[in-house]
């Protein structure tokens, strides 16, 4: 299988690093066994960053390796030692790379050397118990967990940044023209579709230096997928000017220079977005028999369209100096009008999935579902094996107003409350009035006496789970639940 050397479109999966966990630690020394909390914070996870590198001209590296992952943050330690920062992954991309998400929505258009985009941000590190200590909670027996880093699938699409784009039928001489006016050495042969990738050349005319690119494979129907034009038309979107390279010596029946020009213009119009580009027309191959006569026949007709016309020969270099200066003049005019944007580091801030409110509560068939950036982040930070950490979460949710909102909407004690992503939500039993007011717990470290009481909803779910293996074949989970409820009612009636 042939290995591609030019790749201009890839799908890439990126994953940022997870933040390190904070640690719960107490300073101890001789004759001072409880010297106060000294647990350090976890380090932030590494981010995945796209950076424009002028030396990179293709996306081939990501064609072979389509998954990139940053380093995780280090965990905190005792003695107020914070975890290390996870290693960032910097991915060099060519100038002119367009970044889109899975739905095709534009994320960024990376133009300009050094421009950066943080495409996946590393997770924040969890706070240690030293950072969680306060005047009322002097010795927390818990710490917060680090947050997971962002994961996303993106598409990278290269749109070559060139000043002038050469368009025309296959074998019109575009590659020969680039080789004649610059030091580029594209593949040249006497058969169609010799050029399979865009070629770039640097041209100097007087004090102006500019780049020229050709678009391979333009034929009638290219905008609809025929030939290679559908894949490469996007490479001329950034060009300041377009040069029609017209073949004066085509031997194909039914073709002539004017018809070729009209066909290419129709394809450009169908592709769209190129109407404002200045046009130049290069009548190529005047050195061949009848070439000069053909040029004189079509020159006046083309000139009526308002486009400069130059007869050239890529072989004898006739007219190339005039063409180079004509292109330089258009490029210089475009640069004078262009506002030069300073390269900057772009930090991606995806659109929030939540409303402008801090949280929302709605009733569902599973219970009361709480959504919001803060509640969901707090859930990710909580160590549910530590009752004191769960109590701290309950206090935070209460201060945010979640409990008051649930009571306002009609929630009663024991109702299930779901917080977090719908596919992996954490379920609580609603227990109003659990606010500790920031007071320190007097029980064993890591325990919260508020959570030693019975939990009806949890007990009910446990009973249903235990009865499921013994259910009849026709019984569903809901049938089992109803049967257990009837049994409880009968037992209550007997009492």
Instruction: List binding-site positions.
Output: 168-175, 193-197, 214-217, 284-287, 313-315
**Burial environment of residue 272 by CB neighbours within 10 A (0 to 12, 13 to 18, 19 or more):** exposed
Residue 206, Cβ density class (10 Å: 0-12 exposed, 13-18 middle, ≥19 buried): exposed
- Enumerate the known binding-site residues for Mg(2+): 175, 195
For residues 7 and 394, what is the distance between their CA atoms, to the nearest angstrom?
A: 52
How far is it, in rounded angstroms, from Cα 108 to Cα 274? 21
Which parts are annotated binding residues for GTP? 168-175, 193-197, 214-217, 284-287, 313-315
- The span from the CA of 377 to the CA of 309, in Å, is 64
């Amino acid at each position: 299988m042939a290995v591609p050397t030019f790749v201009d479109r890839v799908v890439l999966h990126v994953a940022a690093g997870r933040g390190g966990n904070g640690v719960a630690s107490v300073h101890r020394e001789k004759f001072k066994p409880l010297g106060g909390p000294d647990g350090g914070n976890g380090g932030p996870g590494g981010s995945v960053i796209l950076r424009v590198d002028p030396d990179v001209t293709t996306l081939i590296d990501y064609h072979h390796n389509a998954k990139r992952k940053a380093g995780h943050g280090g965990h905190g330690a005792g003695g107020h030692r914070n975890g290390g920062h996870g290693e960032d992954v910097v991915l060099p991309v060519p100038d002119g790379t367009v970044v889109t998400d899975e739905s095709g929505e534009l994320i960024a258009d990376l133009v300009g050397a050094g421009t950066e985009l943080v495409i996946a941000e590393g997770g924040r590190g969890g706070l240690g118990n030293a950072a969680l200590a306060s005047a009322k909670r002097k010795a927390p027996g818990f710490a917060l967990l680090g947050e997971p880093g962002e994961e996303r699938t993106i598409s990278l699409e290269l749109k070559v940044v060139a000043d002038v784009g050469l368009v025309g039928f296959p074998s019109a001489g575009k590659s020969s023209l680039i080789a004649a006016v610059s030091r580029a050495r594209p593949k040249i042969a006497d058969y169609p579709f010799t050029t399979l990738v865009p070629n770039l050349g640097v041209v100097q005319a007087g004090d102006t230096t500019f780049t020229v690119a050709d678009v391979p494979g333009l034929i009638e129907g290219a905008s609809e997928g025929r030939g290679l034009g559908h894949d490469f038309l996007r490479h001329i979107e950034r060009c300041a000017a377009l040069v029609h390279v017209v073949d004066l010596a085509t031997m194909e029946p039914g073709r002539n220079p004017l018809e070729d020009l009209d066909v290419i213009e129709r394809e450009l119009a169908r592709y769209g977005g190129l109407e404002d580009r200045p046009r130049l027309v290069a009548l190529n191959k005047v050195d061949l028999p009848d070439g000069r006569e053909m040029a004189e026949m079509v020159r006046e007709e083309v000139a009526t369209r308002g486009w400069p016309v130059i007869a050239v020969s890529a072989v004898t270099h006739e007219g190339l100096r005039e063409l180079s200066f004509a292109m330089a003049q258009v490029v210089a005019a475009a640069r004078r009008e262009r506002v030069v944007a300073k390269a900057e580091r772009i930090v991606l801030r995806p659109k929030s999935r939540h409303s402008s409110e801090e949280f929302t509560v709605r009733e569902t068939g599973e219970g009361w579902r709480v959504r919001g950036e803060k509640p969901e982040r707090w859930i990710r930070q909580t160590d549910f094996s530590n009752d004191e950490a769960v109590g701290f979460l309950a206090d935070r949710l209460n201060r945010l107003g979640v409990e008051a909102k649930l009571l306002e909407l009609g929630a009663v004690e024991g109702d299930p409350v779901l917080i977090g992503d719908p596919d992996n939500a954490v379920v609580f039993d609603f227990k109003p009035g659990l606010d500790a007011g920031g007071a320190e717990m007097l029980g064993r470290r890591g325990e919260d006496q508020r959570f030693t009481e019975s939990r009806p909803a949890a007990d009910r779910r446990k009973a249903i789970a235990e009865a499921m293996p013994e259910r009849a074949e026709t019984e569903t989970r809901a049938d089992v639940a109803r049967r257990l409820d009837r049994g409880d009612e009968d037992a209550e009636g007997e009492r």
